[in-house]
Amino acid sequence: MLTSSELKKIPIFSCLNDANLLWLSQQAADLHLEPGEYLIHEGEPTPFFVVMDGSTEVFKDVMGRRTEVSEHKPGDFFGELAILMATSAPASVRAKTACHLARLDPQHLQELIRRSPEFSALILQTLNERVQVVQKYMLNLPSSRVQIVGSKFDDDCREIRTFLSMNRIPYEWADRDRSAHLAPTDQACEVAGLSVVVDGSFCVSHPPTVRKVAEALGFQTAPHRQSYDVVIIGGGPAGLAAAVYGASEGLSVLLVERKAPGGQAGTSSRIENYLGFPNGISGDDLSQRAFRQAVKFGAEVVLTREVQEIIPHPDGAYTIGLDGSDRVATKTVILATGVAWRRLEADGVDRFIGRGVLYGAARTEAPTVAGKRVFIIGGGNSAGQAALFFADYASSVTMLVRGEDLRRSMSQYLIDQIALVPGIRVETETQVVSADGTECLNAIDTRKKGEAVIRRAADALFVMIGADAVTNWLPPQLQRENGYVRTGREVSDKPGWAADRAPFLLETNLPGFFCVGDVRYNSIKRVSSSVGEGSMAIAFVHQYLSLPFQIVADAGYSTAKRKA
């Protein structure tokens, strides 16, 4: 416990009278930390700290890169900025050496300010100085880490922009088709085609790809170990939840994601029905929080890689083959690949994919539709969220819905919001018949039930008509229903359950092979249920790993390869 005499020696407390020092000693926590222990994580609520002895280091995530900002020495204090301005911690703080600190809860700091005018004056003077320091710091920061010059019709350019956006990496993009004055990348890279510069100096080799950009930014793109307790395939909400809970409970975890964390949910502009976020949360924000959590607990998250091969072995283990010939061994597998957007069967549509026709609706498309006529096919929640988001940019947004109304497929809160936006028009019982244009989409033909086909001018068509499971690359003996993977009680006796026990709730007919999220047969297609399944799968992994060793030689194991 801290004493009044100890506190009196600290400059910030030297102005306090004996009564306030005694009160303070009864309220302040007496902390002792070892080097490397965290006091504050960026983005969290923070108490008020005073360094009694030792030193701490301050660092923050600046555009996806950890940057050291400053350090605190004996007598320094911090945390008052976030408390008095009612914000979260602007940076992370951890012990640099063995530290002794005093900690005050926010209400106790505010009470001390009320009790002592002298203390209040010191705090407010320091607060003003720190706000000025923050202003100068922000002015010296670059506006982005990545500069891109490329066409909006270039698939690689679009994929790179989507990857950067989903990973919260600020970038500047000059559309080569529209900009006469290109970004500074032309000085370092080839003028023709797509060019990408990272951190103002490193030019990504030609042709730029998502993986090359990820490596230049310091993301992990290859496994660090040869074997793991569990390999998670897919980095959507279900996969990220499994990685967080698996790593936090001491399992060695590898998560493989071929694009960016978040999956289709990561492209949602706002998820408003997720528990704990009454004002909603964007898909990429939710995904990035989960990604940082998983890495914090020690999970390896490998991005821009694809699992192409899963080889079951008679002893119950698995070999996972990644593109690029990397292979790892694992005791268990969690499949969380999600689903792929269903293709639109209409004349001419395939010719304009990437040139006005897009599947899904990434937020990175906002600049490409500014002032344009946008059409969205679909009546689900994803289509509704996309319509609300693009309405802030496009000259008009029209939702084309095959059903009689939105109530059959969309949450009521989205229906109510759409009704309040004058720039969004909903046309029911309508479908797209064909698409037309020269180099890019210029028009679509639509037909309303019982009426003639009409032609409309269109600049962008976002297709969101449901999704299908793509699982033909998985081991052939894995039981599926219309492509979706059977688990638990859905597993039938044929082609065979090899173990002498019933499968766990999320376990496939291959022992130790679990399936979660949208790719699972009869799953509930909601972000919250996917998160729940991902966390539940880890509980079953623990139960599986505690089972006695058993060879299941009659399971008909064979190799299956995934098509690139």
The CATH number that applies at residue 119 is 2.60.120.10
Burial of 168 (0-12, 13-18, 19+ CB in 10 A): middle
CATH for 387:
3.50.50.60
Q: What was the pLDDT predicted at 329?
A: 98
Highest mean pLDDT among 143-157, 187-201, 368-382: 368-382
Measured distance CA(535)–CA(540) in Å, rounded: 9
User: Contacts by 378-381 with C-beta closer than 8 Å and gap 24+?
Assistant: 378/463, 378/464, 378/465, 378/466, 379/403, 379/406, 379/408, 379/409, 379/410, 380/409, 380/410, 380/464, 380/466, 381/410, 381/411, 381/414
Answer yes or no: is 456 within a domain.
yes
How many independent structural domains does the chain possess?
4
Query: Given 416, 441, 465, which residue is the final one in a domain?
Result: 465
3-state secondary structure of 507: strand
Query: Given 465, 480, 512, which residue is the final one in a domain?
Result: 465
Same domain? For 115 and 194 the reply is: no
Answer yes or no: is 557 within a domain.
no
Q: What was the pLDDT predicted at 218?
A: 92
Grade residue 550 by pLDDT with cuts at 50, 70 and 90.
low
Mean local confidence (pLDDT), 159-172:
90
Mean local confidence (pLDDT), 324-330:
95
Grade residue 494 by pLDDT with cuts at 50, 70 and 90.
low
Answer yes or no: is 391 within a domain.
yes
Same domain? For 495 and 393 the reply is: no
Q: For residue 558, is pLDDT > 50?
A: no
Answer yes or no: is 39 within a domain.
yes
Same domain? For 306 and 419 the reply is: no
Mean local confidence (pLDDT), 407-433:
95
Query: And the tokens for 430?
Result: 């309508």
Same domain? For 329 and 261 the reply is: yes
Per mean pLDDT, which range of 207-221, 474-488, 538-552 is the poorest? 538-552
Are 509 and 479 contacting, i.e. CB atoms less than 8 angstroms apart?
yes
Measured distance CA(346)–CA(527) in Å, rounded: 30
Same domain? For 128 and 243 the reply is: no
Measured distance CA(418)–CA(361) in Å, rounded: 17
Q: What was the pLDDT predicted at 185?
A: 47
Q: What was the pLDDT predicted at 562?
A: 42
Same domain? For 255 and 172 the reply is: no
Per mean pLDDT, which range of 65-69, 90-94, 545-549 is the poorest? 65-69
Which percentage of the chain shows pLDDT scores above 70? 93
Same domain? For 28 and 135 the reply is: yes
Mean local confidence (pLDDT), 463-474:
94
Q: For residue 553, is pLDDT > 80?
A: no
Are 349 and 357 contacting, i.e. CB atoms less than 8 angstroms apart?
yes
Task: Give per-residue pLDDT as tens, 263-314.
Answer: 888 878 788 888 898 888 888 889 999 998 999 899 999 999 999 999 999 8
Q: For residue 1, is pLDDT > 90?
A: no
Q: For residue 58, is pLDDT > 60?
A: yes
Q: What was the pLDDT predicted at 279?
A: 86
Same domain? For 153 and 91 the reply is: no
Q: For residue 364, is pLDDT > 90?
A: no
Same domain? For 276 and 322 the reply is: yes
Q: For residue 131, is pLDDT > 90?
A: no
Q: Which of 419, 374, 422, 426 is nearest to 401 (CA)?
A: 426
Mean local confidence (pLDDT), 223-234:
98
Q: For residue 563, is pLDDT > 50?
A: no
Same domain? For 417 and 373 the reply is: yes
Q: What was the pLDDT predicted at 549?
A: 63
Phi, psi torsion values for 229, nearest 5 degrees: -70, -35
Answer yes or no: is 400 within a domain.
yes
Mean local confidence (pLDDT), 136-163:
85
Q: Which domain holds residue 375?
A: 349-465
Measured distance CA(563)–CA(473) in Å, rounded: 7
Q: What was the pLDDT predicted at 188?
A: 46
Q: What was the pLDDT predicted at 555?
A: 43
CA distances from 289 to 42, 242, 311 (A): 11, 14, 32
Mean local confidence (pLDDT), 83-96:
91
Q: For residue 468, is pLDDT > 50?
A: yes
Query: Given 120, 139, 158, which residue is the final one in a domain?
Result: 139
Per mean pLDDT, which range of 49-63, 116-130, 190-204, 343-357 is the poorest? 190-204
Write down the mean pLDDT value for the chain. 90
Q: For residue 551, is pLDDT > 50?
A: no
Q: What was the pLDDT predicted at 186?
A: 46
Task: Give per-residue pLDDT as tens, 337-358.
Answer: 999 999 999 999 999 999 999 9
